[in-house]
Structure 1
Amino acid sequence: MINNISIKCLKSDKIESGACHGQFLINSLRSGQGITIGNQLRRVLLNDLGGMAITAIRIAGVSHEFSTIPGVREDILEILLNLKGVVLRSNTQSPQFGRLKIQGPIVVTADLIQLPSNLELVNPNHYLMTISTANVIEIEFKFEYGMGYKLASQTFLEEDENYLQLDTIFMPVQKVDFKIENVYDNANNITERLFLDIWTNGSISPNEALKSAAQVTIDLFSLLVEEKQTTKINKLKPEIQSISIEPYTNIAIEELQLSVRAYNCLKKAQINTVGDLLQYSPEKLQELKNFGRKSSIEVFSTLKNKLGIILK
């Protein structure tokens, strides 16, 4: 029975560079529950947990990522790549800033970055660059909290024009594996036990990650048991189905305010009114010259949103 379920930590250890591994055992699951729970936890662990990471840097005297810094062995792209490996532990989700000002010659590692008090380095010995001359290097770092990953091409904002953006990985969980074993009792009844292996980057322990994933799942499914929206959805259906399309057939397509591409394609095909348009299925529309799937979706969405006409 579900009341007999128990969870036990079988292993918890640190790997290289501060990374962590933990193995957990969930006992007394009914047949079929192992894969359900294992899949759910794995997806949440890999997708829905957040972390703090470097998202942008500003280097004195450098304006773009293809520059070089005099006296530094690595170019800017290599330095950006090295910075992606810096792992941070944080007790805040608000943006933070750090600074590095150092004179060479020296091998620069992550522990030389001056961090705010609410950030902590997980891998202080992580290599960043080598300064081979007596030059002074000054870098400002921007730290942000997020989930999943963020591509640099999506983060060029006007207020950040002096910053070089990084492809940022926020996910604290690096890998999750699980396996299921059947357990037979004296009466030959079958229960399952689930072995769950979690690897993190060290910013969160596997035990904390598992608890957070379980809480996210609880919060998500608790919303599904609320039935406040059910009656509203049921009331809307007959109203939409009762709309007649007859009064709208003589409306000019200009009234739909379509994009220039979709509008020009329709006019070239002698489609001048909504009535003309309703003679076409999505498949027939896509056969028009230069009229693709995106334009077809736009037209039928506009009919639904503006006129309440829903077509199969």
Structure 2
Amino acid sequence: MNNFYIKCLKSEKINSGSMYGQFLINALRPGQGITVGNLLRRVLLSDLGGTTITAVRIAGVRDEFSTIPGVREDILEILLNLKGIVLKNKTTDPQFGRLKVKGPAVVTASSIQLSSDLEIVNPNHYIATISTSNLLEIELKFEYGTGYKLAGQTFCKKSQDFLQIDAVFMPVQKVDFKIENVYDNTDFLTERLFLDVWTNGSISPEDAISSASQFIIDLFSSLMENKLTEEVNELENENTSMPKNPHTNIAIEELHLSVRAYNCLKRAQINTIGDLLEYSPEKLQELKNFGRKSADEVFTTLKNKLGIVLK
């Protein structure tokens, strides 16, 4: 793997601010293509974070089933349109924006007033149409997260006066990969991996690959530095708490005692050598039907087989 590298073959903007990139990872050993491809795909789609609108408060509206006089769309349509706005965020803190438009007008994402930390990727995105001179006033809440969260999972009690929106934080929309075998002049087989990445425009495909790779590195670094250390410490603690006698957990069946002696021990719930060592010679002979002859047999077997002498 001395020639292992990753190369960007193509990077371009497509419709509505979305971006596409194609990457080549070369000089992989046979079988590594599917491993690396699957790992990058899963991380790109599920572990990269983004910012989206998570709640709105519309003046004069109390629920999503209302209508606004003079506005062509109902509240549900407006909420769906707002979910299509793509944002770049310089911070992970919650942010707020405001939209205030007097009709008649066509309302797009460019009408939203934002803080300096936020930027709209698709400012021409359609929100609503006001056909009269009415005023449309909306307050929007922006949050950073990963994956997909239902409206009830994303908000605190302080936001009860907001209409909650299902949040899709994922900046990567789609990932495909394919693997090709490569033979050199000596018929030595390697693999190359082609990775196709589509994003919503809030992050470039190159940055998405870089962030995913760093996430994987940090994940396994944490695993190696912390988890293995904790496991070793736990094993050491377990070892120190274990009885010093190595024969403790050996079943008494391994002693191959006579039927009489064996049955007497089992009736007394003596199942292991550890159980047996809890009995003194005098206490053993007090067991029902366990006479001097059976006791001598047990003492002799422990001494000859395991080197244990009962005093």
**TM-score over 0.5 for the pair:** yes
Paired residue for 1:18?
Answer: 17
Deviations, residues 94-133 of structure 1 (Å, cap 9, x unaligned): 1111001110011101011011111111001101011111
Paired residue for 1:274?
Answer: none
- Partner of 1:225, secondary structure, is helix
CA distance in 2, matches of 1:241, 1:132: 81
- 5 Å matches for 1:15-164? 15-155=14-154, 157-164=156-163
**Structure 1 residue 241: Cα displacement:** 9.6
- What is the letter of the counterpart of residue 121 of structure 2? V
**Structure 1 residue 161: Cα displacement:** 1.1
- What is the letter of the counterpart of residue 78 of structure 1? E
Paired residue for 1:230?
Answer: 231
**Structure 1 residue 194: Cα displacement:** 0.3
- Partner of 2:2, secondary structure, is helix
- Partner of 1:228, secondary structure, is helix
Gaps of 5+ in 1: 243-312
Of 230-239 and 197-206, more deviation after overlay is shown by 230-239
CA distance in 2, matches of 1:157, 1:235: 44
CA 1:190/1:163 → structure 2, altered by over 3 Å: closer, same or farther? same
CA distance in 2, matches of 1:123, 1:56: 19
TM-score, length-scaled by structure 1: 0.74
Which structure would you say has the larger Rg?
2
CA 1:149/1:240 → structure 2, altered by over 3 Å: closer, same or farther? farther
Deviations, residues 123-179 of structure 1 (Å, cap 9, x unaligned): 011010111110011110000000001111324532111100000100000000000
**Structure 1 residue 88: Cα displacement:** 0.2
TM-score, length-scaled by structure 2: 0.75
- Partner of 2:218, secondary structure, is helix
CA distance in 2, matches of 1:114, 1:168: 20
- Partner of 1:231, secondary structure, is helix
Aligned residue pair count: 241
CA distance in 2, matches of 1:109, 1:142: 17
Paired residue for 1:213?
Answer: 212
- What is the letter of the counterpart of residue 225 of structure 1? M
- Partner of 1:229, secondary structure, is helix
Paired residue for 2:182?
Answer: 183
Percent identity between the two aligned chains: 67
**Structure 1 residue 238: Cα displacement:** 7.0
CA distance in 2, matches of 1:225, 1:149: 29
Paired residue for 2:276?
Answer: none
CA 1:103/1:177 → structure 2, altered by over 3 Å: closer, same or farther? same
- What is the letter of the counterpart of residue 208 of structure 1? D
- 5 Å matches for 1:278-293? none
Of 101-110 and 228-237, more deviation after overlay is shown by 228-237
CA-atom RMSD in angstroms? 1.6
Of 101-110 and 218-227, more deviation after overlay is shown by 218-227
- Partner of 2:140, secondary structure, is strand
CA 1:131/1:239 → structure 2, altered by over 3 Å: closer, same or farther? farther
- What is the letter of the counterpart of residue 187 of structure 2? N
- What is the letter of the counterpart of residue 233 of structure 1? E
- What is the letter of the counterpart of residue 124 of structure 1? P
- Partner of 2:213, secondary structure, is helix
Deviations, residues 243-285 of structure 1 (Å, cap 9, x unaligned): xxxxxxxxxxxxxxxxxxxxxxxxxxxxxxxxxxxxxxxxxxx
CA distance in 1, matches of 2:221, 2:23: 25
CA 1:187/1:97 → structure 2, altered by over 3 Å: closer, same or farther? same
**Structure 1 residue 237: Cα displacement:** 5.2
CA distance in 2, matches of 1:210, 1:28: 18
Deviations, residues 24-51 of structure 1 (Å, cap 9, x unaligned): 0011111111111101000000010000
Of 160-169 and 227-236, more deviation after overlay is shown by 227-236
- Partner of 2:221, secondary structure, is helix
CA distance in 2, matches of 1:58, 1:239: 61
- What is the letter of the counterpart of residue 181 of structure 2? N
- What is the letter of the counterpart of residue 154 of structure 1? Q
Paired residue for 1:299?
Answer: none
CA 1:64/1:236 → structure 2, altered by over 3 Å: closer, same or farther? farther
- Partner of 1:81, secondary structure, is helix
CA 1:187/1:156 → structure 2, altered by over 3 Å: closer, same or farther? closer
